Amino acid sequence: MNKKDAKKRIEELRKTVEYHAKKYYDDDSPEISDFEYDMLMVELRNLEREFPEFSSSNSLTQKVGGTVKKGFKEVVHEVPLQSLQDIFSFEELIEFEERINKQISKSKEKTNYVVETKIDGLSAALKYENGILVEGATRGNGLVGEDVTENLKTIKTIPQKLTEKINITVRGEVFISKKEFEELNEKRAIDDEPLFANARNAAAGSLRQLDSNITKERPLDIYIFNVQKIEGKKFNSHYEELNYLEKLGFNVNPVRILCKNMEEAVEAIKKIGEQREQLTFGIDGAVIKVDNLKLREELGQTAKTPRWAIAYKYPPEKKETILKDIICQVGRTGVITPMAILEPVSVAGSTITKTTLHNEDFIKQKDLKIGDTVIIQKAGDVIPEIVEVVKEKRTGKEKKFKMPTECPVCGAKAERIDGEAAIRCTGIECPAKLLRNIIHFVSKEGMDIDGLGEILVEQFINKGLISNIADIYSLKLEDIASLKKSGTKFAQNLIDAIQNSKNNDLYKLITALGIRHVGTKAAKTIAKKFKTMQQLMDANFESIRMTEDIGEITANSIYDFFKEEQTIDLINKLEQAGVNMNALEEENIDERFSGDIFVLTGSLEGFTRNEASAIIERFGGKVSSTVSKQTTYVLAGEAAGSKLRKALELGVKVISENDFLEMIK
């Protein structure tokens, strides 16, 4: 490659890796795999070495990726939290050893190595004074991180107090275990929330929350792997430090192998690679560290990486197999996902018989056909995926696949919403969606049936006591008492809550039905206009579209929903069960906020945001999520952020919670 082409390619690569580093470190939403990113970095690093005249201190090969997120206080690390240079072969590992031996050739110190798992999570530093946790921070750019002390305190495996009164700063990796990650995504699917791409991003996004209550709900864990700074103690080796950290009460990386030489280190890396499938946590490689701390000082570090440690990345294993069939599965949210049925093949220690094909676009992009020879890849503990088709092995007998137009479970219409890749079942009585639909139906925003939680609903479904939403109203006292330890008293309270829900306003029922794009606000508007469920079901599209604040997409969703046979059947069952189908007359209508638009920001003490919004709407006002010149008031609570600044810039009136209380007296 000539200099002109090299310069152009280096500039292209820098822009590309900076973009993907931002998606990975700052946004916690990567668009490419770790391996693809690593390969881009390898290419960039090699070109910068070959053409040093184009090297730059601003290149990501020379600095740590990541920035401080807005809203967090900055923490300057007393000892930088560096990253590691990645390698992908044992030959590079031998070169690493040769560089070390060359640099310490005159030293009499012995070179042992410690091999540890490279945990796939988010790096953090914990600072203790007199044995008490006083500060916790993310790595950030290595020099400056984010103050996430309160968030880290919610992690049960982080000790608030050590067994000794010592001043120490340690470094660890915050992560979510494989099992906990699966359960977290299952819950998000039920709640119709976007799924996390992988456990690393789930952990990073959870730790970097401005609200520590959200972090508390996430199953975060941590493994400590380094002493950054310590007072009053002296150690000779890294391995000795790790053992001491355990005595202090830290949750230390459980996979750490002391090796006498590089040959043993290579065997340790191979062993971890063979057993990584059995680990309860995800890894993206193995770390090789010089054990002797005196030698570490001699070796030193660059601006980005230590010279005494390196990260071995396991290459993704690829195998050929046959795509025998493509079947469709219906998830709890109604999304119809194509699944590849494969000729069994062993990849990275697991026998793979099937894998997700994500959606229709993925199949078209890969040009997949039933009967194709395909290449499967499984890097580390990542879900197996089809990388490509071996087109030269096609025989002409392969068959094209078409996504179904009807739900394969219930037969209802399957449709793809504009702007989405997913195809969804539209049937409200679809068995595949039953759990999620019932949980939404009984939620506080829906019919508000207190006591009927997810675990109990699942038990009712498994026992065959509930097969559709309307069956809730057929539950008997003895059915409930038999499933709950608290017995008859709890059962009677739940029966009362179910009976009371029959008297809810029409808007609560509309919200509970889970119509796409229809929340509480839209449901209230619809109920107010149409008055009865029957009138809403009989309404034409134009009539729905002309309803205040109802756009074309929402109107289409409502109209199509009430034309489905399953919807009509469910409404009939609910009406027969005695559920109210009419809008209730409002007494003493007070329109004091008529024409006013409120924006809520920060934490309120006396109300949840939903409660404050409900009060504003009851008094005829509207609640918006964005501040504009049309905004009347910004209700600012504790730790109000960008919306408050925007309001001040635009001259919008800002009110406190006390002001709001005066306004609603």
Cα(37)–Cα(284) distance, integer angstroms = 13
Which residues contact residue 197 at a Cβ distance below 8 angstroms, ignoring those fewer than 6 apart? Answer: 29, 30
CA atoms within 13 A on the CB side of 518: 30
3-state DSSP assignment of residue 353: strand
Strand extents, DSSP E, 203-347? 221-230, 256-259, 283-290, 309-312, 317-330, 335-347
Q: What is the chain's alpha carbon radius of gyration, rounded to the nearest angstrom? A: 29
The catalytically annotated residue of 63, 69, 106, 118 is 118
Instruction: Please confirm, yes or no, whether 271 is among the known catalytic residues.
Output: no
Q: How far apart are the first and last CA of the chain?
A: 76
| Backbone dihedral angles phi then psi of residue 599, each to the nearest 5 degrees | -125, 130
Cα(118)–Cα(88) distance, integer angstroms = 14
Q: If residue 647 lies in a helix (H) or strand (E), which one and from where to where? A: helix 642-650
Task: Give me the residue label for tokens 């040769």.
Answer: 98
What's 577's DSSP letter?
A: T
Of 346, 353, 310, the C-alpha closest to 88 is 310
CA dihedral 387, 391, 392, 396 (to 10 degrees): 150
State both tokens at 311: 């990260």
Number of H helices, E strands in the chain: 24, 22
Q: What is the total residue count of the chain?
A: 665
Task: Give me the residue label for tokens 């205040």.
Answer: 548
State both tokens at 245: 């950290």
Which residues contact residue 334 at a Cβ distance below 8 angstroms, ignoring those fewer than 6 apart? Answer: 407, 424, 425, 426, 427, 430, 432, 433
> By the 8 A CB rule, do 237 and 293 touch?
yes
Cα(41)–Cα(36) distance, integer angstroms = 9
Of 625, 615, 614, the C-alpha closest to 662 is 615
> By the 8 A CB rule, do 152 and 207 touch?
yes
Distance set, CA 278 to CA 178, 258, 281, 282, 283 (Å): 10, 21, 9, 10, 11
Of 21, 28, 381, the C-alpha closest to 174 is 28
625 by Cβ neighbours in 10 Å (0-12 / 13-18 / 19+) ranks as exposed
State both tokens at 395: 């025989």
Could you tell me whether strands 74-76 and 144-146 are parallel, antiparallel, or unpaired per DSSP bridges?
Answer: antiparallel
Distance set, CA 648 to CA 362, 626, 654 (Å): 46, 13, 8
Cα(157)–Cα(574) distance, integer angstroms = 47
449: alpha, beta or left? (left if phi > 0; alpha if psi -120 to 50): beta
Positions annotated as catalytic residues are 118
